[in-house]
Amino acid sequence: MKVLTVNFLTCAVKACKTSPLSFPLHFQDAELEQSDIEYNPSFLRNILPRVDWEALKVTANELGFTTVPAEKPNPAPTPTNPDTNPTETIKESPEAQPADDKVMRDLHTLLLETEVREGKMVCGNCGHEYKIKEGIANFLLPSHLV
Amino acid sequence: MDYLIRFVQIHETFRKPEVETLAVLADVDVEFLSYSEDSPYSIVRLKDAFAARNLISRSISSKGIYELWGVGATYEELHANILNRSSSQWATYQSCSFRFQFDTFSGSRTLAEQRAIIESFKYLGFNGPIKLKSPDQTFTVFEEYEYGNPNGPLRVFLGRFVGGSQRHILNEYTLKKREYIDTTSMDSELALLTANLTLAAPDKVFYDPFVGTGSFPIACSHFGARTLGSDIDGRMVRGREGKDIRANFRQYGLLDRYLDGFISDLTHSPLRKGRWLDGIIGDPPYGVREGLKVLGTKDGSGKEAVYINGEAAHLQDKYIPPKKAYSFEAMLVDLLDLAVELLVDEGRLSLWMPTANDEDVELGIPSHPCLQLVSVCVQTFNKWSRRLLTYKRIPDSRFTDCLLARQKVEMKGSTANDLNSFRKRYFEGFKAPLTGEPFGEPAGGKS
């Protein structure tokens, strides 16, 4: 289960959906694994606006990552293709670029390359535990929570 | 400029919606000047060859696109039309290498006849070398015959090849060669068509709530999307003995685009509410080969947690949550609701559903005020058929009462047959009184 995916998951119990405590789910006994995924800044640019930043900071902290910026970075827009839009010129500030790139690469590592292989995710509202085995989380509920 | 699209004569109802959707992706305007479900040749109007190539490069329902040089009911008409339509172009291709090809539909020509017809285009004045292998230009003579009447073509065309389609990948993605499949894996050609109709594209996020062996996520990731999948059947998501969804993605070199698979039930989805999905594709269980089940108990029991030796039973490794039968119609309503909550503006939902040829059991097309039906495509089997419905999320700004209370389908009964008229009819062999002949089947067939 990738850190990015966790940012889109909450408790499956219907009564918990309205509680702010049900998101993000909290990790316990998480075993991490790093994989190697090709760096793709355009995907990050697309997905970052949809990431809940406060929740990501909580998750990252629980998993031992302390380098997440306090504020969601505002990545440089996709360079305009000069063939399709000749009137717009590409504006890139040469000083800001390397720092931005480092932040984005760290985010790529955290969001896409870091996976929880084994462990539990716990709802902060109802306390239900969702197990993760071999990277696959199980969100099926027992009958008393349905 | 006019172009000829060379469609394949299979899954005909998917073809026009596919091209219209690819036009959205390629950001080109396409106008159909002639199109028929009975013909593989369609004439469209496009800005230029660049737009034509872009439009068709991802297509699964066509073989290629050609600049239209002429069309006619006879060769005399064709030659006259070529003179009229394309004589200004002839000089451009005077000295490049070229070849002529023949494409006949519902008819045939001997090689000698083909040669004689090709010779009749001599007046185009091409002086370049003839190369049968990778020439600069390929010109194709298309002949369309009336089915069962080989006496002469109905229509003839001449086209200059502009761009090929994506059909060359079908051999690579065929289920026959796939690592991990199951009885319900979706045919790869239809999965790729579905991905196209749902606007799968690089850097988008797609989700399949009935992931099974991953047919749809694989198709979407082929077109560049990042994909998530879930299934209520944990065995499907986990796979067995190293054969799993990840193995399929690895086989096609797409593993970087597979985000995650998890085990969950559509009626108790863990997905966070918010508009973060670009597309949803689902082939819900029809309740025939796979039981249609959701979390819960048939009689509503089990409202208390069970403890064994002081430990909660539901936290044990071997615990299997109870499931109950569910209505297919209710499942569709849930799926539409999920799509409205999670899709970005203009994001698409594609869902497969059965529809028997017999009107008695025709399931209505589900609707939601925030979803606009984009296309309905049909795949016909011997005794039943199924539809692919594609919707797009209407932006809230264009819709005021999007939060209209929705009527839930009332559930009657609790057995699989009570809840699923389609399942019942399937096992009865669709043998209820037929109202007239089933469409598309020869008279005298078994009913």
B280-294 pLDDT, tens digit each: 999 998 776 666 889
Structure confidence at residue A79 as a pLDDT band (50, 70, 90)? low
Q: Nearest Cβ partner of A137 from B256, B262, B314?
A: B262
Q: Nearest Cβ partner of A141 from B260, B295, B315?
A: B295
Q: What is the mean pLDDT of chain B?
A: 89
State how far the Cα of B66 lies from the Cα of B139, in Å rounded to an integer: 9
Q: Which two tokens stand for residue B83?
A: 């003179």
Do B56 and B40 contact (CB within 8 A), yes or no?
no
Closest C-alpha among B206, B335, B181 to residue B259? B206
Q: What pLDDT is attached to residue B155? A: 96
Return the higher-pLDDT residue of A30 and B435: A30
Q: How far is A23 from chain B (nearest CA, A)?
A: 8
Q: What pLDDT is attached to residue A97? A: 53
Do A144 and A10 contact (CB within 8 A), yes or no?
no
One-letter amino acid for residue B385 of the chain = S
Interchain contact A1–B (C-beta under 8 A): yes
Q: Which of A26, A53, A54, A140 to mutate to test the interface with B (most CBs of B within 10 A)?
A: A140
% of chain B surpassing 90 pLDDT: 71
Interchain contact A27–B (C-beta under 8 A): no
Q: What is the mean pLDDT of residues B86-101?
A: 95
Residues 6+ apart with CB under 8 A from A94: none
Do A11 and A22 contact (CB within 8 A), yes or no?
yes
Interchain contact B322–A (C-beta under 8 A): yes
Structure confidence at residue A75 as a pLDDT band (50, 70, 90)? confident
Of A71-75, A126-130, B228-232, B242-246, where does mean pLDDT reach its minimum?
A71-75
Q: Which two tokens stand for residue B17?
A: 């919606």
Q: Which domains does chain B have, with CATH numbers?
A: 2-165 (3.30.2130.30), 175-349+394-427 (3.40.50.150)
Query: Contact B276/A12, CB-based, under 8 Å?
Result: no
Of B211-215, B416-420, B429-433, highest mean pLDDT: B211-215
Closest C-alpha among B91, B97, B67 to residue B157? B67
Cis peptide before A24 (omega within 30 of 0): yes
Q: What pLDDT is attached to residue B89? A: 94
Residues 6+ apart with CB under 8 A from B2: B33, B43, B44, B45, B46, B67, B68, B85
Q: Which two tokens stand for residue B65?
A: 């696109």
Of A72-76, B159-163, B293-297, B442-446, highest mean pLDDT: B159-163
Other beta carbons within 10 angstroms of residue B79's beta carbon come to: 17
Q: What pLDDT is attached to residue B355? A: 79
Nearest CA in chain B to A41: B203
Q: What pLDDT is attached to residue A67? A: 85
Query: Contact A137/B263, CB-based, under 8 Å?
Result: yes
> What does residue A5 show for φ and ψ, rounded to 5 degrees?
-60, -40
Q: What is the 3-state secondary structure (H, E, C) of B140-159?
A: EEEEECECCECCCCCEEEEE
State how far the Cα of B390 lies from the Cα of B75, in Å rounded to an integer: 41
State how far the Cα of B171 lies from the Cα of B338, in Å rounded to an integer: 34
% of chain B surpassing 70 pLDDT: 89
Interchain contact A14–B (C-beta under 8 A): yes
Q: What is the 3-state secondary structure (H, E, C) of B94-106?
A: CCCCEEEEEEEEC
Size of interface A-B (CB pairs under 8 A): 116
Pairing of strands B155-164, B62-72: antiparallel
Q: What pLDDT is attached to residue B401? A: 53
Query: Contact B260/A134, CB-based, under 8 Å?
Result: no
Other beta carbons within 10 angstroms of residue B368's beta carbon come to: 20
Q: What is the mean pLDDT of residues B102-109?
A: 93
Q: Which domains does chain A have, with CATH numbers?
A: 3-72+95-145 (2.20.25.10)
Interchain contact A23–B (C-beta under 8 A): yes
Q: What is the mean pLDDT of residues B110-119?
A: 95
- R_g (Cα) of chain B, nearest Å: 26
State how far the Cα of A28 lies from the Cα of B267, in Å rounded to an integer: 26
Interchain contact A83–B (C-beta under 8 A): no
Interchain contact B76–A (C-beta under 8 A): no
Using a CB-CB cut-off of 8 Å, the residues of chain B touching A17 are 273
Strands (E), B75-224: 98-105, 137-144, 155-164, 205-208
Q: Is the pLDDT of residue B344 over 80?
A: yes
DSSP label at A53?
H
Do A108 and A43 contact (CB within 8 A), yes or no?
no
Alpha-carbon separation of residue B73 from B3, B157, B228 (angstroms): 17, 9, 51
DSSP label at A2?
B
Q: Which residues pair with B130 in a beta bridge?
A: B98
Q: Find residues 223-242 of chain B whose CB sits inside 8 Å of chain A.
A: 226, 228, 230, 232, 234, 237-238
Interchain contact B201–A (C-beta under 8 A): no
Q: What pLDDT is attached to residue A85? A: 46
State how far the Cα of B200 lies from the Cα of B326, in Å rounded to an integer: 30
Other beta carbons within 10 angstroms of residue B147's beta carbon come to: 10
Q: Nearest Cβ partner of B228 from A5, A12, A43?
A: A5
Q: Nearest Cβ partner of A146 from B204, B269, B295?
A: B295
Q: Is the pLDDT of residue A87 over 50?
A: no
Closest C-alpha among B231, B216, B286 to residue B261? B231
Q: How far is A7 from chain B (nearest CA, A)?
A: 8
Query: Contact A10/B270, CB-based, under 8 Å?
Result: yes
Nearest CA in chain B to A133: B238
Q: Find residues 158-197 of chain B whose CB sits inside 8 Å of chain A.
A: none
Of A68-77, A104-113, A124-133, B172-181, where does mean pLDDT reach its minimum?
A68-77
Measured between its terminal Cα atoms, the distance across chain A in Å is 24
Return the higher-pLDDT residue of B38 and B303: B38
> What does residue B347 show for φ and ψ, rounded to 5 degrees?
-65, 155
Q: Is the pLDDT of residue A77 over 80?
A: no
Q: What is the mean pLDDT of residues B30-46?
A: 97
pLDDT digit string, tens, across residues B357-405: 344 567 789 999 999 999 999 998 887 889 999 999 999 877 655 544 4
Q: Find residues 96-115 of chain A whose CB sits inside 8 Å of chain B.
A: 112
Using a CB-CB cut-off of 8 Å, the residues of chain A touching B293 are none
Q: Is the pLDDT of residue B124 over 90?
A: yes
Alpha-carbon separation of residue A6 from A119, A123, A136, B233, B416 (angstroms): 13, 12, 11, 20, 34
Q: Is the pLDDT of residue B128 over 50?
A: yes
Residues 6+ apart with CB under 8 A from A100: A73, A75, A76
Q: Which two tokens stand for residue A3?
A: 């850190």
Pairing of strands B41-45, B31-34: antiparallel
Interchain contact A137–B (C-beta under 8 A): yes
Do B21 and B154 contact (CB within 8 A), yes or no?
no
Of A47-51, A52-56, B226-230, B426-430, where does mean pLDDT reach its minimum?
B426-430
Q: Which two tokens stand for residue A50?
A: 């949809």
Using a CB-CB cut-off of 8 Å, the residues of chain A touching B262 are 1, 5, 9, 136-139
Q: What pLDDT is attached to residue B90? A: 95
% of chain A surpassing 90 pLDDT: 76
Q: Is the pLDDT of residue A34 over 70?
A: yes
Residue in the block written with tokens 């799993």: B244
Query: Contact B304/A42, CB-based, under 8 Å?
Result: no
B436: left (phi over 0), alpha (psi -120 to 50) or beta: left
Interchain contact A48–B (C-beta under 8 A): no
Structure confidence at residue A129 as a pLDDT band (50, 70, 90)? very high
Q: Is the pLDDT of residue B215 over 60?
A: yes
Interchain contact B260–A (C-beta under 8 A): yes
Q: Nearest Cβ partner of A11 from B270, B275, B304?
A: B270
Query: Contact B264/A135, CB-based, under 8 Å?
Result: no
Using a CB-CB cut-off of 8 Å, the residues of chain B touching A12 are 264-265, 268-270
One-letter amino acid for residue B4 of the chain = L
Q: What is the pTM of this model?
A: 0.88
Residue in the block written with tokens 């692919």: B388
Structure confidence at residue A76 as a pLDDT band (50, 70, 90)? low
Closest C-alpha among B294, B361, B283 to residue B324? B294
pLDDT digit string, tens, across residues B143-196: 999 988 878 899 999 999 999 999 999 999 999 999 999 988 999 999 999 999
Q: What pLDDT is attached to residue B417? A: 66
Q: How far is A128 from chain B (nearest CA, A)?
A: 9
Query: Contact B262/A52, CB-based, under 8 Å?
Result: no
Return the higher-pLDDT residue of B315 and B142: B142
Q: Which two tokens stand for residue B185?
A: 């894996």
Query: Contact A137/B273, CB-based, under 8 Å?
Result: no
